[in-house]
Amino acid sequence: MALGLSSAEGWLDARSFARLERRVGDALRRARAVGVPQLAGVTCDVDPGVDPTAVAVSSRRGDEEWFCLEQPDREGYAVAAVGSVRVLEEDGPHRFGVLARRWSGVAAGAFADASDGPPGSGLVALGGFAFAPDGGGSPRWHGFAPASLVVPEVSLARGRGRVSLTVNAEAAPDDTVEDLLARVSARVAELRSPALPLLDPAPAGEYRVVSPMPPSHYEEAVARAVERIRAGELEKIVLARDVEVHAPVDHDLGAVLGLLREAFPSCYVFAVGRGDAAFIAASPELLVRRDGARASTVGLAGSSRRSADPAIDEHLGEQLLQSEKDREENAIVVRRIARALRPVSVWVTAAPEPSLVRVANIIHLGTPIRAQLAA
């Protein structure tokens, strides 16, 4: 593969690098004209065998933002990124709308390729949002803003049998094209694509599993929740219990991600990293997916354990489908989602009946919901 710079070997071909050089020049001229930094980037296909998550885990620097999201059973869909050229953060009750408008402005002004690759390819902003307007109150959420979007230095997207690479640069008025290209080339040269490490089945030292709150605290919370539901004050409450796992050595984030995607291939496996901290999980729940003016999600509520015996597992699923309590729990969630979508939609529709959503260790009731968003 011919290359613009030898340090970009294996990732950017000569044509893509030349296109990046032109884009950087355009961005730099505008930055000098208006006195504000401008974004430039290019997107190209790379080896379809590249694992985006493995690249992000092995290529991230210790003090920077990084991101992974994949759903293995969805044709191997994955998006991963390292570094940042622009960080957008907001807090308060209007953080979603404000951040969306800021990102729209950034994207509209960028010198970037139009993407025809997998979802998540091209110029993207990746990050996360807290449910609380002012973010998490615990010290463990330090460094995670209530609403944060990061335009990465490097991102990879996989899907539809393709893997695309996007590299971005921010051109400030006092930069030069040569310096910007050298920084991009050096960053791309750091990319590695090894397999994710395996989790040690017999680690040295002892792990401690502790709960910050005693069991009685959780039991009392359940009792209070039941009282409020019976009194008609609430319909549904979701209780969470903190559990801390203390390891004798640092947790291997790559090994944890590898284990999660192997154990939960139908779930959304993700990591949002901020320096030394990372939020990692595998969840069957989709908050919302938007494709143009169409929005879709799933009302997921009502659950049962699974069994290794296929016949028993089938019976447990059938019991869940017939459970009046679990069906009502699911209906509550569906009603709330539909209620939230209606003010911003032309129409909202939900499946007439829930279906079973099976993951490795649990069965859920799920009701697909679709909406046509208003202009």
Rounded-to-integer distance, Cα 102 and Cα 321, Å: 44
Segment 248-271 shows an average pLDDT of 92
pLDDT at 202: 67
Query: Average pLDDT, whole number, for the chain?
Result: 92
Query: Which is more confidently placed, 241 or 227?
Result: 227
Distances (CA, A) of 285 to 60, 134, 296: 27, 23, 12
Q: In the Cβ-directed half-sphere of 130, how many Cα atoms lie within 13 Å?
A: 19
Structure tokens given for 303: 């659950």
Please report, for residues 72, 253, 263, 346, the alpha-carbon distance to residue 260 in angstroms, rounded to integers and kept in the order given.
10, 11, 5, 38
Q: How confident is the model at residue 5 (pLDDT cuts 50, 70, 90)?
A: very low
- Which whole number is the average pLDDT over 8-33? 92
> Is pLDDT of 258 > 90?
yes
Question: What φ, ψ does residue 33 adopt, rounded to 5°?
Answer: -75, -40
pTM of the model: 0.89
pLDDT for 140 beyond 60:
yes
Q: Which helix (H) or strand (E) holds 81?
A: strand 77-82
Closest by CA position to 316, among listed 302, 337, 334: 302
pLDDT of residue 206: 82
Per DSSP, what are the bridge partners of residue 86?
151
Q: Helices (H), strands (E): how many in the chain?
A: 8, 17
Question: How far apart, in whole angstroms, are the C-alpha atoms of residue 220 and residue 225?
Answer: 9
CA atoms within 13 A on the CB side of 312: 6
Q: Averaging pLDDT over each range in 112-121, 202-211, 311-320, which range is the top one? A: 311-320
Among the listed residues 146, 58, 51, 61, the one whose alpha carbon sits nearest the alpha carbon of residue 95: 146
pLDDT of residue 8: 56
- Amino acid making up residue 210: V
At residue 6 the predicted structure's pLDDT band, cuts being 50, 70 and 90, is: very low
* CB contact at 8 A, 41 and 81: no
- pLDDT above 70 covers what percent of the chain? 97
Sign of CA dihedral 222, 288, 295, 357: negative
- Residue 135: the pLDDT is 87
For residue 136, give both structure tokens. Answer: 């998490």
Q: What is the mean pLDDT of residues 255-274?
A: 94
Confidence of residue 9 (pLDDT cuts 50, 70, 90): low
- pLDDT tens-digit series, residues 146-186: 999 999 999 999 998 999 999 999 999 999 999 999 999 99
Alpha-carbon distance 156 to 121, whole Å? Answer: 7
Are the C-beta atoms of 172 and 31 separated by less than 8 Å? yes
Dump pLDDT digits (tens) for 59-96: 999 889 999 999 999 889 999 999 999 999 999 999 99
Using DSSP bridges, classify how beta strands 289-291 and 277-283 pair: parallel, antiparallel or unpaired.
unpaired
Q: What is the reported pLDDT for 212? A: 85
Taking residues 246-254, report their average pLDDT. 87
Residue found under tokens 């050089």: 21
Backbone angles phi, psi at 278, to 5 degrees: -150, 140
Using an 8 Å Cβ cutoff, are 129 and 73 in contact? no
pLDDT at 78: 97
- Residue range 12-23, pLDDT digits in tens: 999 999 999 999
Position 190 confidence tier, pLDDT thresholds 50, 70, 90: very high
Residue 2 has pLDDT above 70, yes or no: no
| Statement: residue 3 has pLDDT above 60 | no
Q: How many whole angstroms from its chain centre is CA 297?
A: 15
SS3 240: coil
